[in-house]
């Protein structure tokens, strides 16, 4: 029983970090409708910039995260203004190819510019495991999950209560109407990408703390797509729920199924669940179906 509880708790902690990373995808899709296939590379870039700030520049963790958020957010906003702004009205496949090309560019540039910097990001706290009622809890995962939870609450509040968040929700509902009432759509879309960059820095840093750093952080993007589709591409609550469910599923599969069917099954379990759910709810758990007049 303790083994089962430990797996569930461990999966839920990992799922919270998944949720923050998935949030970086959802906030862009909600406002602009762009499917960001370079998400994993943005997460990797953010974590590598933080590692460079800690190891190469001698900044503390908080200072390195702040500098990385500013740098990554500025680059993401520039990408929105210089590239995506010129592709308004283009086919969806063209936007997808642009994000794929951007991902390749980020991978190459990061390998050249930051390849010699250590990828690990140490936490300035003791990392001794905690034992609660016989259930061991990894201190690093617990801290990462708490930080991710706070970041999710902050981003959710921003979208619900702030003036800019309300404008972004209006743009997500109807860009033409938002323009008609005086909302500067281009500026707000750039802000959306900048927010994605900042959230990606925090998510990539927390993932590095939990699972280790390096260029493998980019693979986290592959784990995010089943989550955002399962939760609903435009649903922040659905993304959070789906992320925690996927985290628990992967943990249980790793603990009970991998020893039986072979290592690695836990990595594809989320895709199998995604296929099953899409047969019943094609728009995800909490996503909104597109209304169509017939």
Residue pLDDT, tens place only, 165-191? 888 888 877 778 888 888 888 888 889
pLDDT value of position 213: 67
Looking at per-residue confidence, does 196 or 284 come out higher?
196
Q: Is the dihedral angle over the CA atoms 123, 127, 131, 136 positive or is it negative?
A: positive
**CA dist list (Å): 111 to 51, 160, 212:** 13, 38, 17
Residue pLDDT, tens place only, 106-142? 999 988 888 888 878 877 766 666 777 777 777 778 8
Q: Over 60: is that where the pLDDT of 292 sits?
A: no
Residue pLDDT, tens place only, 242-261? 899 998 988 888 888 878 77
Collapsing DSSP states into helix, strand and coil, what is residue 264? coil
pLDDT value of position 77: 92
Q: Sort 132 into a burial class: Cβ within 10 Å, 0-12 / 13-18 / 19+.
A: exposed
Q: What is the mean pLDDT of the chain?
A: 84
Q: Sort 124 into a burial class: Cβ within 10 Å, 0-12 / 13-18 / 19+.
A: exposed
Q: What domains are there in the chain, each with its CATH number?
A: 2-280 (1.10.3470)
Q: Is the dihedral angle over the CA atoms 91, 95, 97, 98 positive or is it negative?
A: positive
Q: Sort 1 into a burial class: Cβ within 10 Å, 0-12 / 13-18 / 19+.
A: exposed
Mean of the pLDDT values across residues 269-288?
80
Residue pLDDT, tens place only, 54-107? 888 888 888 999 999 999 999 999 998 888 877 766 777 888 889 889 999 999
């Amino acid at each position: 029983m303790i083994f089962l509880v430990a797996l569930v708790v461990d999966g839920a902690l990992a799922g919270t970090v998944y949720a923050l990373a998935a949030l970086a995808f959802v906030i862009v899709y909600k406002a602009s409708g762009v499917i960001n296939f370079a998400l994993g590379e943005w997460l990797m870039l953010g974590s590598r910039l933080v590692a460079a700030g800690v190891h190469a520049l001698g900044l503390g963790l908080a200072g390195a995260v702040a500098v990385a958020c500013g740098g990554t957010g500025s680059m993401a906003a520039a990408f929105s203004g210089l590239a995506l702004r010129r592709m308004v009205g283009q086919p969806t496949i063209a936007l997808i190819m642009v994000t794929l090309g951007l991902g390749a560019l980020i991978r190459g540039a990061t390998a050249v510019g930051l390849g010699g910097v250590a990828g690990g990001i140490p936490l300035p706290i003791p990392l001794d495991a905690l034992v609660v009622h016989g259930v061991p809890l990894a201190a690093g995962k617990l801290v990462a999950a708490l930080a991710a939870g706070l970041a999710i609450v902050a981003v959710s509040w921003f979208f619900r209560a702030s003036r800019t968040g309300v404008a972004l929700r209006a743009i997500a509902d109807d860009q033409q109407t938002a323009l008609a009432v005086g909302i500067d759509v281009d500026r707000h879309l750039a802000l959306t990408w900048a927010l994605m960059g900042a959230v990606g820095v925090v998510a990539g840093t927390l993932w590095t703390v939990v699972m280790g750093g390096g260029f493998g952080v980019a693979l986290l993007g592959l784990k995010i797509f089943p989550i955002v589709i399962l939760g609903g591409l435009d649903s922040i609550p659905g993304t959070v729920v789906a992320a925690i469910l996927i985290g628990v599923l992967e943990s249980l599969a790793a603990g009970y199924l991998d020893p039986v069917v072979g290592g690695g099954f836990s990595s594809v379990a989320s895709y199998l669940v995604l296929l099953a759910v899409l047969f019943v709810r094609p728009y995800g758990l909490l996503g909104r179906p597109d209304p169509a007049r017939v």
